[in-house]
Amino acid sequence: MKLIATLLFVLAGFYAEAQSKTTQVLDEKYDGLSLFFYRNTLRMLNQKDDPAFDELIKDIEKMRFMMINKADSKFTDSDYKKIA
């Protein structure tokens, strides 16, 4: 649960447009798992009704989360540094 919350905090700082372009390129180039989170989905993660979490997600309409297996897809550290 803490891992998911941490990932959401990190991803919330990116603009939706930049995230969209980056994830599209990654999805085309590497084999991975894509998950979409919408505001209602993110609210379900807030099981303790934390007002700070609600404030964090208030402007998020849709968020895409990608998991790429570095070993299988040859996704290197230099690839990561290019998008980070």
Give the C-alpha separation, 81 to 15, whole Å. 18
In terms of C-beta density within 10 A (0-12 exposed, 13-18 middle, 19 or more buried), how is residue 45 classed? middle
* Residues 23/66, Cβ–Cβ less than 8 Å: yes
Q: Which of 27-31, 47-51, 53-57, 76-80 has the lowest mean pLDDT?
A: 27-31
Going by pLDDT thresholds of 50, 70 and 90, the confidence category of residue 46 is confident
* Predicted confidence (pLDDT) per residue in 54-68, tens digit: 998 889 888 877 777
Taking the whole predicted model, whether its pTM rises above 0.85 is answered as no
Extents of the domains making up the chain: 2-83
Predicted local confidence at residue 67, as pLDDT: 78
| Per-residue pLDDT reduced to its tens digit, 13-44 | 544 455 567 777 777 777 777 788 888 888 88
Q: Is the dihedral of CA 56, 23, 39, 16 positive or negative?
A: positive
pLDDT of 8 strictly over 70? no
